[in-house]
Amino acid sequence: MRNQRWSMIWAALFALGIFSVVHAAESGWVPPGPPVGAQFTNPLHLADSSGRLRKVDDLMGARGLTVVFVRSADWCPFCKHQLVEINQRATEFAALGFPLVSVSVDEVPLVRAFVDSQNTHFTMLAVHTGAVAEDIGIRDAQYPTGSAAFGVPHPGIFVLARDRTILAKFFEPGYKVRPDPDVVLASVRTLAGGATAP
């Protein structure tokens, strides 16, 4: 029964993937980074808002993890708005077994300031270089070396299984528009089978 359920989920994801490829081909834009079904290989060995080093495997919930990449929790208004919106849904993601974690190109004190001001209910990680975005293949190349925004990622969201398989991904062509948090949550709810984590 469990295998049948996973087969149905994978079939739905495959169908969504086909649609994404067609849509990307029509628009001329291809979402960056590894595709659905690939492994998320970066360990995200980064400091959280308290300065404590965390790893992707330690952050996993009962079913997986939802990783949100933003440019900055300090100077990017679109990122800040997105982070506030997902914070309002953080307990739902966690209850479904796919807790949220964000990654931004900031120093730890800047992330801590955001956490304190917004009373966030999810882990926020800070990386002050573009190494992680570069490794994953989502660094926004329009910002060259020496630019104040060098190293920032194309904002996007990956939903990972516990074995780090990418179950879903959400990216938009421009940095001003972010994935709809309710669409992401609905996808996670489908992946969880509509049930809360055991």
User: What DSSP character marks residue 130?
Assistant: S
pLDDT of residue 20: 40
Tell me the one-letter amino acid at 111.
Answer: V
Cα(116)–Cα(105) distance, integer angstroms: 18
Q: Which structure tokens are listed for 74?
A: 């300090």
Fold of 31-191: Glutaredoxin (3.40.30)
Sign of CA dihedral 87, 156, 102, 91: positive
Q: Identify whether the C-beta of residue 167 lies closer than 8 Å to the C-beta of residue 189.
A: no
pLDDT per position in the chain (198 positions), as tens?
444 444 444 444 444 443 343 334 446 778 999 999 999 999 999 999 999 999 999 999 999 999 999 999 999 999 999 999 999 999 999 999 999 999 999 999 999 999 999 999 999 999 988 899 999 999 999 888 888 888 899 999 999 999 999 999 999 988 999 999 999 999 999 999 866 676
Instruction: Output the pTM of the full model.
Output: 0.85
pLDDT of residue 195: 64
Q: Which structure tokens are listed for 4?
A: 């049948």
pLDDT of residue 181: 96
Residue ranges per structural domain of the chain: 31-191
Alpha helix stretches (DSSP H) within the chain = 2-27, 56-59, 77-87, 90-95, 108-118, 131-136, 181-191
User: What DSSP character marks residue 157?
Assistant: E
